Structure 1
Amino acid sequence: MGKRKRGNKQNEATDKEPEKTENQNEVLFSDDLLKIRKTEWINRQRVMVLGARGITARDRHLMLNLRTLMPHSKSEPKLDSVKSDLFSDALEICETRNCNKCLLFINKKRKDSYLYVANVPNGPSAKFMIENIHTMEELRLSGNCLRGSRPLLSFDPEFDKTPQLSLLKELFSQTFGVPKHHPKSQPFFDHVYTFTILDKRIWFRNYQIVGEEGSLAEIGPRFCLNLIKIFEGGLGGPVIYSNPGFVNPNVRRRMLRQQASDKYKDKVVIREGRNKKKPKGEEYQDMDPLEIFD
């Protein structure tokens, strides 16, 4: 009887062994899938979206719109540009958060908005002035896309004609393009980013792909980028290209004030000349009214 019991125990032990191996195979199989998924995600772009202290509410809303549209982005509290070096702090934050791209929003005098698009830490980077900002909240457009979906990037043919625009095209592609198989992204395309060159500026639009016909419905936001300079390093360094057609907003405002003052001076000169031609009231008293027509 004892031998039979031992045999039964041995048989039970042998029966349990295949269950352990099957579980182990399942674990190994899932690990292999994770390894395959990690190796497929080759384009490991991480974009740090930052705003310096002093940006306006519209700049902040535009920054939040871009964060929601870019699932591969990361956020950080505002930078203090007064007490510390703004660009060195931004580079340090990108390094600690393992980000290789950076979007830095800066506002001066609460009038002029600037955007740095940078490949950190080695560069290149570009400085733009943001004009004609319209956020998704104020536009209230009919288009809508799924959160985390990947966008198609559409560039104007003008980007391939000059070297500086070709560089910006590659920089925009790496920054705004969502990597394939990103953990926070959806595996399909349902909206389009368009970069169009008009009036020597880059116009950004976001459209939803509606239906199988491929019709488009605008989502937002809208903004316009006026190129100022392209730097060799990340967020600074030697200047590779400087836009000769860019006019500093302070200079533009000063020119407008000068034109207004010149216009006022011309009016004053005309008024004084007109008053000199008119005879004074005392001369009319001793004058015969009929002598005027002689």
Structure 2
Amino acid sequence: MAKKRRRALEQTGEVRDEGNSSKKPKWTNKQRVLIFCSRGITHRPRHLMNDLRVLLPHSKADTKLDRKDQLFIVNEVCEMKNCNKCIFLEMRKKQDAYMWISDTPHGPSAKFLVENIHTMDELKLTGNCLKGSRPILSFDTVFDQIPHYSLLKELFTQVFSTPCYHPKSKPFVDHVFNFSIADNRIWFRNYQIVEEDLSLVEIGPRFVLNIIRIFEGSFGGICLYENPLYRSPNEHRRLLKQGAGMKFRNRVDARMAFTARQSGMELPEDEVEQVFQQDV
């Protein structure tokens, strides 16, 4: 049993060669990502979480976090799970999904609003990749030009890149994680590399990350960056309702004006119009 165990450890690279004690093990990148969510999450973000667990063989799972608990408890959960990275999903009002990507326990961390979520099963795309294979990470050139995007690039690289010689990974590279920036948002796509002609076929999932804030610590601390163009979902829905109300009011005013013209009646004088009149 001891020989079998030693042979298995040698294959994973956790045992050094006795003849050369200075030789490092193959599996040197010990990145482990904890992917879990809070209670009250809906089906779409939950399926996205399961897709991320399938795509990242170096990830671990945990039970749902109670919504009454503070976010700093996530650092303790990561420590118990022996994880140094975390992807945490939470839900507000059962319609707004937020994603935390953090380097635990010292930071930095970033909070995003997740938009346009499409899972693997929902898209029914033709692409396919081997489970546990290592991805190629492709970033937009903007990530190297703006400071806060450069910080996010390093964070994404450490979270989404599968460590070399990881026990659960396969020695193949057959898909690409693409991070592109458009409309001040980060668009995530997953493509398969076709072996015959090296073309790309989308696999899924796909989602859009609207950055809110970047913190110095893990799930809190000093705010390093705040998106000035971010608009909360509540404000966005309020503006939509306000626009719909103004549209209905304009339609009612136009109907009243048309009825007055048809009946030959004069419209009542508007007191507000006198403010814009200037005496010559």
TM-score, L = length of structure 2: 0.85
Instruction: Return the offset for 1:212.
Output: 4.5
Counterpart in 1 of 2:158?
A: 174
Count of residues paired in the alignment: 255
Deviations 1:191-236 (A, max 9, x none): 1100011111111111111115311111111111111110110111
1: CA distance, partners of 2:7 / 2:89: 45
**Match among 21, 30, 34 for residue 48 of structure 1:** 34
Match of 1:291 in 2: none
| Structure 1 equivalent of residue 253 of structure 2 | 269
**Pairwise CA RMSD:** 2.2
Cα separation, 1, equivalents of 2:249 and 2:260: 17
Q: Which runs of 4+ in 1 moved over 6 A?
A: 24-33
- Using the alignment, how far apart are the partners of 1:250 and 1:257 within structure 2? 11
Please, which moves more after superposition, 94-103 or 203-212? 203-212
Q: Compared with structure 1, are the counterparts of its residues 27 and 141 closer, same or farther at alpha carbon in structure 2 (3 Å cutoff)?
A: closer
Q: How many angstroms apart in 1 are the aligned matches of 2:30 and 2:127?
A: 29
1:199 aligns with 2:179: no
Aligned-partner residue type, residue 128 of structure 2:
N
Please tell me the residue identity of whatever aligns with 2:57.
P
User: Contact (CA 8 Å) 2:14, 2:26: kept in 1 or not?
Assistant: no
Q: Which residue of 2 aligns with 1:149?
A: 133
Q: Distance in 2 between matches of 1:223 and 1:201?
A: 10
1:248 partner letter: S
TM-score by length of 1: 0.81
Give the deviation of 1:51 after TM superposition. 0.7
Of structures 1 and 2, the larger Rg is shown by: 1
Change (3 A) 1:55 1:269: same
- Distance change (3 Å), C-alpha of 1:31 and 1:159: closer
Alignment deviations for residues 52-108 of structure 1 (CA, whole Å, 9 cap, x no partner): 1111101000000000110000000111113x22x1221111011111000000111
Gaps in structure 1 of 5+ consecutive residues: 1-23, 281-294
Structure 2 unmatched ranges of 5 or more: 18-23, 266-280
Indicate the structure with greater helix content. 1
1:221-240 equivalence runs, <5 A: 221-240=205-224
The Cα offsets for residues 4-29 of structure 1, whole Å up to 9 and x where unpaired, read as: xxxxxxxxxxxxxxxxxxxx999988
Q: Aligned with 1:188: secondary structure?
A: strand
Partner of 1:77: 63
Aligned to 1:14: none
